[in-house]
Amino acid sequence: MAGHGGPGPYLWSRDGFLGANAVALRENYLPDYLSVEGPHAPHRVNLFDLPTADSMDAEALPTPVMTSREGVELAVSRRRAPTPYTVRNAEADELHFIQSGRARIRTDFGDIEAGPLDFVFLPRAVSYRVEPLDSELAVLILSSPLPLYFDVPAPFGMIHFGRSVRRAAITAGLAAEKPHRLWIKSFDGITRFEMAHDPLPAVKQVEGQSPVWALNLKEIHPLAYITGPGGPPGQFLSTADTSVMCYTLSARPGSRPPVHHNADYDELILYCEGPGAWGGVTEPGTLTWVPKAVTHHGPEENVPEGYQAWLLEVRPTMRLTKEALEYAAHIETGFYGLKT
Ligand SMILES: [Fe+2]
């Protein structure tokens, strides 16, 4: 397993995969640690282990699992009944990742259906309701105060935008409640409006394109290096200031990452599906978190059986919520197995 003992290269990199870097040959294998105490420690948690309020109470909102001072947040939803009110996020773009199950998401710009391994993008100020289509729905929700944009290294190849990106579409005849409850999310909580009309029913789209889209993780092709040892993954979505960046980290050719410090980013990786294992991670729905300045190596991505995973890099320093910490465990940072 991890290369205990012996010298090895160590990489320090700035601005994630985009900035300056330096490599030194170290005398020892640096990821090894004997014990850890305190908040800035590598953990993993499985989304399916976390109790979520909305699985038992249709009125509840998703359960936050990671937060930051800057407002970047991760939450988990396992909704079992349709949202009985309309939600609108006043301060963040939301990226909903469907780990399992299916849902219809009704929005200001029409409906979209999503299933396993779909990302659904709900930008700031777009109103929505979620209708589960089965009893398996489990969703990881990223909230980013700064807008997220497609940011691929080339205009085609990684994502076939015309074929793979589905847009919400307006269908007439949506049943509406009057009066209607509208909940607006902001940094300090929920503001509840009673509206004269349901905001969602629409007649047709007459300008622009729907800002609500869905895209399956399997249709985001990993960036790979055919000759040589390999290199970093390529992002598909990011903020203009690169404070939040999303990558596919599914199986691809190349050698194992170097032992490194990612100076400016916390790294969060969601392992979504096998059949191959990703190092010490084998259970779909496992979220690993390595905070910045914690030395890590990382498993092989060149797994012939294949697996699906994605990486979230965030400049803000993240913290597990008190509720999530109860279900999280420390990991070693060689193969991201449980710390023994
Ligand atoms: Fe890393």
Q: What is the dihedral of CA 31, 33, 37, 43, to 10 degrees?
A: 50
Q: What is the pLDDT of residue 2?
A: 44
pLDDT (tens digit, 9 = 90+) per residue, 279-320?
A: 999 999 999 999 999 999 999 999 999 999 999 999 999 999
Positions of the chain with pLDDT lower than 70, given as ranges: 1-6
Do 129 and 185 share a structural domain?
yes
Residues 97, 71: Cα–Cα separation, whole Å: 19
CA of 260 to the centre of ligand 1 (A): 6
Q: What is the pLDDT of residue 175?
A: 75
Do 229 and 300 share a structural domain?
yes
The answer to the question of residue 54 being in a domain is no
CA of 320 to the centre of ligand 1 (A): 19
The answer to the question of residue 95 being in a domain is yes
Check which CATH number belongs to the domain holding 82 and give it.
2.60.120.10
CA of 20 to the centre of ligand 1 (A): 15
Q: What is the pLDDT of residue 174?
A: 77
Q: What is the pLDDT of residue 9?
A: 83
CA of 310 to the centre of ligand 1 (A): 13
Q: What is the pLDDT of residue 213?
A: 98
Do 211 and 91 share a structural domain?
yes
Residues 292, 278: Cα–Cα separation, whole Å: 21
Q: In which element (H, E) is residue 64 found?
A: strand 63-68
Residues 108, 128: Cα–Cα separation, whole Å: 7
Which of these, 215, 173, 12, 184, lies nearest to 92 by C-alpha position?
184
CA of 262 to the centre of ligand 1 (A): 6
CA of 93 to the centre of ligand 1 (A): 25
The answer to the question of residue 111 being in a domain is yes
Residues lining ion ligand 1 (Cβ < 5 A) are 262, 267
Please say which residue of 215, 242, 259 terminates a domain: 215
Domain that holds residue 228: 8-46+218-330
- The number of distinct structural domains making up the chain is 2
Do 211 and 111 share a structural domain?
yes
Q: How many CB atoms lie within 10 A of CB 109?
A: 24
Q: What is the pLDDT of residue 5?
A: 55
Do 88 and 207 share a structural domain?
yes
CA of 298 to the centre of ligand 1 (A): 7
CA of 84 to the centre of ligand 1 (A): 41
